[in-house]
Amino acid sequence: MTDTSATGSRRTARWAGPAGAVASAVAGLGLAELAAALLDPRTSPISLVGGVVIDLTPAPVKDAVIALAGTQDKLVLIVCVVLGTLALTALSGRGLRRSSLPASLWLATVGAIAVIAAIARIGVGILHAVPGVVLAAVALLALRLISGRLRRVTDTPERAPGAAGPPPGSATRSDSAVRPIGGAERRALLAAIAGSTGVGVVAALAASATRPERAAVPSLTLPTPASSPPDLPAGLDVKGITPLRTPATDLYRIDTALVVPGYRPTEWDLVIDGDVDSPLRLTLDELLAEPMVEIDATMLCVSNPVGGDLVGSVRFTGVPVAQLLHRARPRAGADQVLSTSVDGFTAGTPLDVLLEADRHALIVVGIDGKPLSPEHGAPARLFTPGLYGYVGATKWLRRLTVGTFAEQKAYWTTRGWSERGPVKTSARIDVPRDGESLSADEDGTAVIAGVAWAVHRGVGAVQVSVDGGAWVDADLSAEVNRDYWRQWMARVPLPAGKHTVRARAADASGAWQEEEPAAPAPDGAQGYHEITISARG
Ligand X SMILES: Nc1nc2c(c(=O)[nH]1)N[C@H]1C(S)=C(S)[C@@H](COP(=O)(O)O)O[C@H]1N2
Nearer to Mo ion (CB atom), residue 316 or residue 390: 390
Q: Of 57, 210, 228, 256, which lies in the binding site for ligand X, with binding defined by CB under 6 A? A: 256
DSSP class of 169:
T
Q: Of 42, 128, 253, 315, which lies in the binding site for ligand X, with binding defined by CB under 6 A? A: 253
State the binding partner of 341 from ligand X, Mo ion, none, CB within 5 to 8 A by kind. Answer: ligand X
b/e map of 409-422 (b: 16 or more CB within 10 Å)?
ebbbbebebbbebb
Residues 236-275 close enough to bind Mo ion by CB under 5 A: 254
Check binding of 57 to ligand X (CB under 6 A).
no
CA distance 284 to 269: 6
State the binding partner of 256 from ligand X, Mo ion, none, CB within 5 to 8 A by kind. Answer: ligand X
DSSP 240-284: TPPPSS--GGGS----S-SS-----TTT-EEEEEESBSS-EEEEH
Nearer to ligand X (CB atom), residue 254 or residue 438: 254
Check binding of 345 to ligand X (CB under 6 A).
yes
212-220, 225-233, 394-402, 475-483 -> range binding ligand X (CB under 6 A): 394-402
Nearer to ligand X (CB atom), residue 330 or residue 389: 389
Closest-by-Cβ residue to Mo ion is: 301
CA distance 513 to 425: 5
Check binding of 395 to ligand X (CB under 6 A).
yes
**φ and ψ of 85, to 5 deg:** -60, -45
CA distance 32 to 11: 32
* Amino acid sitting at position 161: P
State the binding partner of 290 from Mo ion, ligand X, none, CB within 5 to 8 A by kind. Answer: none
State the binding partner of 97 from ligand X, Mo ion, none, CB within 5 to 8 A by kind. Answer: none
CA distance 136 to 130: 10
Cα-Cα-Cα-Cα dihedral sign, residues 34, 37, 39, 40: positive
Calculate the alpha carbon distances from 96 to 19, 30, 53, 100, 508 in Å.
10, 22, 29, 5, 71
Q: 319 pairs with which residues across the strands?
A: 363
State the binding partner of 276 from Mo ion, ligand X, none, CB within 5 to 8 A by kind. Answer: none
3-state secondary structure of 224: coil
Q: How far is the CB of 300 from Mo ion (least distance, A)?
A: 8
3-11, 251-259, 316-324, 476-484 -> range binding ligand X (CB under 6 A): 251-259
CA distance 85 to 23: 12
Check binding of 341 to ligand X (CB under 6 A).
yes
Check binding of 455 to ligand X (CB under 6 A).
no
Check binding of 318 to ligand X (CB under 6 A).
no
3-state secondary structure of 217: helix
Q: How far is the CB of 80 from ligand X (least distance, A)?
A: 19
Check binding of 104 to ligand X (CB under 6 A).
no
Q: How far is the CB of 396 from Mo ion (least distance, A)?
A: 15
Cα-Cα-Cα-Cα dihedral sign, residues 197, 199, 202, 203: negative
Site string for Mo ion, 389-408 (x = CB under 5 A): xx------------------
Q: How far is the CB of 63 from Mo ion (least distance, A)?
A: 10
State the binding partner of 393 from Mo ion, ligand X, none, CB within 5 to 8 A by kind. Answer: ligand X
Cα-Cα-Cα-Cα dihedral sign, residues 340, 52, 89, 205: positive
Residues that bind ligand X in the complex, under the rule CB under 6 A:
251-257, 301, 341, 343, 345, 376, 389-390, 393-396
Residues that bind Mo ion in the complex, under the rule CB under 5 A:
254, 301, 389-390
